Structure 1
Amino acid sequence: MATEEIQSPELSVADQLDNEIANLRVQVDSIKRELKLQTATLITSESTRQIIQDDSGRKSRQTRSSRSQELLAKADEQNAHKQQCLYRACASITTFKVSDPDPNAVDGGNVLGLRFEVMSKSRFLRPYYVMLNRPYPNSRYLRIHRHTVPQSIPLSGIAARYLPPPAAKDDVDVKKQDLTTFARTLRRELVRHQNRSAVIGDLRKSAGLESKDAKAKEGEVSVVDISAADAQAKQIRVEWSDGRSGRLVIDDDGDIVKMVVQGENGQDREAVRQLIGGSARIEEVTKRLEST
């Protein structure tokens, strides 16, 4: 698919050639990715594998095609990759054991690890990890030892609710730990956070902010920046070329809570209406920006 390019008449011939070369490189990278995807799809199909095996079997061991062996090896590698992806997609939370090398570690250095898989735009992100140990004497209660969870995730609050410390001897209210609910709640928060962060990127793309070649028409008021205004990505900052700025607030699941736009004369409700209209979710705002 050819990339449309908006060029200014002031651009020199050298600048135009540089832009054309950059566009061609983008197209080449896209074609390479598509070729790699189609090759992986063909080589793992049962009919293709049978053809390669039949061709290899008709030849003697001395004259067997090295190319056929290479294709079979790549097919096995791709099948293993597909199996791994299927496992990561179905088993989004997995556990494993770790041994703490510290000689003074609690519980003999035994650590329980939780691995959380999160996907975004059909790609697996780097997994998040939570390490748990048992520091309480004569108790099997767990406590968070180490983790790679972003600071914007309320991990301490989730742990306080589902992994409370053991009660004192004279405490009548004994709270049990629920590791399963803790893991599910934490992964839900991780997915929500990633989805909110990803939708901000979609908004920028729909507004044309990710395109280096796109330029606003002379005299046209346009959105010049869309970014997260807080660590949790629940507040989105929107800025216009005429100096107006707005704040779009969404909840955990991407539902629009409210939006306020501030201009020279105070609140600009017309700008709010033009941007979100009757949208109830942030994804609907993305579609509105694409259509404008």
Structure 2
Amino acid sequence: MSIATEEIQQSSDLSVADKLDNEIINLRAQVESLKRELKIQTATLITADSTRQILQNESTKRPKIGLPDNSPRSDELLARIDEQDAHKQQCLYRACASITTFKVHDPDPNAVDSGNVLGLRFEVMSKSRFLRPYYVLLNRPYPDGRHLRIHRHTVPQCIPLAGLAARHLPPPASRDDEDMPKKQDLSNFARALRRELVRYHNRTAVIGDLRSSAGLENKKGKAKEMEDPIVDISAADAQAKQIRVEWSDGKSGRLVMGDDGDILKMVVQGENGQDREAVRQLLGGSARIEEVAKRLEGT
């Protein structure tokens, strides 16, 4: 067998292996989708009023007429209904009360203000799931006992927390300062901080959508069939406001988006300098990142 024949045989074998891998990935994705659908349908059915009424009637009649040993016990199903109702109530509370306050005590004997601390809890949802809450703890270290200061927090470093605090929670004016002291606004601070948290997670989520549409997550994207396919899409900065795009032929691009996902600018560098044609092919007439993801998915 000649070398050329061996190379053709190897390439055909690789193509068959790739097809099998793609088929396995598709089947696994279908299984996961069916599992999620089954869980949703089960939760919807078990929390229906008619289902609860049937189970309650069955539980009431069971001591009189009896049930076979292999039949499901209605009291266990009723317990699952109560758990699901509690979960729904918790989700409703977290969705409606996205910012909550609580009081804690600092056990440090040398803590300021006798250890009194005010906590803020921020709820953020991304891709239909609640994320781990973020916390900001505030105390009152100033002599006047009215102005708040950030004590501890779990906010990501990429969020401009110091700038928001300087704008909405300014420290008290010193004696040498002739200007009128600025009032603190805790409500505006909390709203502005949650807005920044939501924007940040929306930007990171849309970058994930771009990767999926380009076929970089599960090899299902149709953009792999392009003449010069995209080989990488990732955040280029900590705030996820700049997106790095790389093509198989060596081109590299940088896309800048605003706080809310609007496209501000994009530049692509190729072997001969800026490649405006690649920018037009990727963006088209898109004004937002979501539209670019739809273009990649339909390519």
Q: TM-score, normalised by structure 1?
A: 0.90
Between 1:237-246 and 1:31-40, the stretch displaced more is 31-40
Aligned residue type for 1:100: D
Cα pair distance change 1:267/1:20, threshold 3 Å: closer
Determine whether 1:79 maps to 2:82. Answer: no
What residue is the counterpart of 2:120 in the other structure? Answer: 114
Pairs aligned (count): 284
What is the CA distance between 1:61 and its match in structure 2? 7.8
What is the CA distance between 1:220 and its match in structure 2? 3.0
Match of 1:156 among 154, 162, 167: 162
Counting aligned pairs with the same residue, the percent is: 77
Aligned residue type for 2:94: R
Runs of 5+ in structure 2 lacking a partner?
1-10
- SS of the equivalent of 1:101 reads coil
Cα pair distance change 1:204/1:25, threshold 3 Å: closer
Deviations 1:148-207 (A, max 9, x none): 111111000000000011112343321000000000000000001111111000001111
> C-alpha distance in 2, partners of 1:283/1:162?
32
Between 1:236-245 and 1:100-109, the stretch displaced more is 100-109
Aligned residue type for 2:285: G
Aligned residue type for 2:90: Q
Do the aligned partners of 2:122 and 2:134 also contact (CA within 8 Å) in 1? yes
> C-alpha distance in 2, partners of 1:88/1:31?
27
Aligned residue type for 1:203: L
> C-alpha distance in 2, partners of 1:22/1:234?
31
Between 1:170-179 and 1:257-266, the stretch displaced more is 170-179
What residue is the counterpart of 2:267 in the other structure? Answer: 260
What residue is the counterpart of 2:3 in the other structure? Answer: none
What residue is the counterpart of 1:186 in the other structure? Answer: 193
Deviations 1:214-239 (A, max 9, x none): 7946x931111000000011110000
Determine whether 1:27 maps to 2:30. Answer: yes
What residue is the counterpart of 1:3 in the other structure? Answer: none
What is the CA distance between 1:15 and its match in structure 2? 8.1
Determine whether 1:10 maps to 2:13. Answer: yes
What residue is the counterpart of 1:124 in the other structure? Answer: 130
What is the CA distance between 1:33 and its match in structure 2? 2.0
What residue is the counterpart of 1:5 in the other structure? Answer: none
Deviations 1:10-66 (A, max 9, x none): 149888777655554443333222211111111111011001001111122895887
Determine whether 1:145 maps to 2:148. Answer: no
- SS of the equivalent of 1:246 reads strand
Q: TM-score, normalised by structure 2?
A: 0.88
What is the CA distance between 1:109 and its match in structure 2? 1.0
> C-alpha distance in 1, partners of 2:221/2:160?
39
Cα pair distance change 1:98/1:63, threshold 3 Å: farther
Determine whether 1:227 maps to 2:270. Answer: no
> C-alpha distance in 1, partners of 2:293/2:22?
27
Do the aligned partners of 2:212 and 2:221 also contact (CA within 8 Å) in 1? no
Do the aligned partners of 2:122 and 2:135 also contact (CA within 8 Å) in 1? yes
Between 1:277-286 and 1:175-184, the stretch displaced more is 277-286
Match of 2:210 among 203, 207, 211: 203
Cα pair distance change 1:139/1:270, threshold 3 Å: same
Cα pair distance change 1:62/1:98, threshold 3 Å: farther
What residue is the counterpart of 2:43 in the other structure? Answer: 40
> C-alpha distance in 2, partners of 1:22/1:283?
25
> C-alpha distance in 1, partners of 2:14/2:273?
39
Deviations 1:246-266 (A, max 9, x none): 000011111111100000001
> C-alpha distance in 2, partners of 1:24/1:13?
17
CA RMSD of the aligned region, Å?
A: 2.3
What residue is the counterpart of 1:91 in the other structure? Answer: 97
Do the aligned partners of 2:257 and 2:265 also contact (CA within 8 Å) in 1? yes
Cα pair distance change 1:214/1:201, threshold 3 Å: closer
Match of 1:50 among 49, 53, 56: 53
Aligned residue type for 1:118: V
What residue is the counterpart of 2:246 in the other structure? Answer: 239
> C-alpha distance in 1, partners of 2:103/2:44?
35
